[in-house]
């Protein structure tokens, strides 16, 4: 799923993570649902793919979710 072979690159976690990062660069501290609505307006990303991409960004120490539910860059 990170780098799919036989499907569109728009379905990869790397690509979708870059869309999330683009939104985080514009607004650093943003609530999770607000971030998803911003990402959804820009692309046709499902919530499942959004969460997987956000998990990848967290595991890579790029993004962090605070206890209040805001997503921020590390």
| Every domain of the chain and the residues it spans | 9-73
The pLDDT value recorded for residue 51 is: 93
The pLDDT value recorded for residue 43 is: 87
The pLDDT value recorded for residue 1 is: 52
The pLDDT value recorded for residue 12 is: 82
| Burial environment of residue 63 by CB neighbours within 10 A (0 to 12, 13 to 18, 19 or more) | buried
The residues near 12 (Cβ < 8 Å, ≥ 6 apart) are: 1, 2, 3, 4
CATH of 9-73, one of 2.60.120, 3.30.70, 1.10.860, 1.10.10: 1.10.10
Q: What is the mean pLDDT of each run of 10 residues along the chain (74 residues)?
A: 66 88 90 92 90 93 90 89
The whole model's pTM is what? 0.84
The pLDDT value recorded for residue 44 is: 86
């Amino acid at each position: 799923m990170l780098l799919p072979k036989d499907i569109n690159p728009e379905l990869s976690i790397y690509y979708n993570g870059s869309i999330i990062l683009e939104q985080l660069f514009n607004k650093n501290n943003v609530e999770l649902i607000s971030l998803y609505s911003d990402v959804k307006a820009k692309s046709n990303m499902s919530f499942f793919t959004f969460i997987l991409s956000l998990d990848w960004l967290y595991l890579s120490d790029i993004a962090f979710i605070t206890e209040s539910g805001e997503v921020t860059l590390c």
